[in-house]
Amino acid sequence: MPKLEKMSSEEHVSISKKMFYGGFAFLPFLWLVNFLYFFNTSRQPNAPKALKKYIYMSLVGCLIWFIILTSWYGLFVNRRISWGQVADRITVVIPKGL
């Protein structure tokens, strides 16, 4: 795989675009990798606007997924007992006791 510095701007945009759309397949980690991988490249004065668009949309998507998953985790942990049997059915490992 060629180094990032040796790739053309079009290749940067193409890879970033593929990683952005790949993140919609329930892969929010791919969005984070896209942002971290191309962040320094997008800060250069000759960076294409499309590259900036894809990496910042990837960052927003990753943050939205993080908020959704942590909210679900907090809700589930705090309300699992009151949900009764429904919560037990969706629990992978059922804890002992209350």
Spatial CA neighbour of 41 closest among 4, 6, 15: 4
Q: What is the pLDDT of residue 31?
A: 95
pLDDT in tens, 81-96: 899 888 888 888 766 7
Spatial CA neighbour of 65 closest among 37, 33, 24: 24
Res 1 pLDDT > 70: no
Cβ proximity of 60 and 20 under 8 Å = no
Instruction: Say what the pTM is.
Output: 0.80
pLDDT in tens, 10-66: 999 999 999 999 999 978 899 999 999 999 999 999 889 999 999 999 999 999 999
Q: What is the pLDDT of residue 75?
A: 95
Q: Residue 43: how many CA atoms within 13 Å on its side-chain side?
A: 6
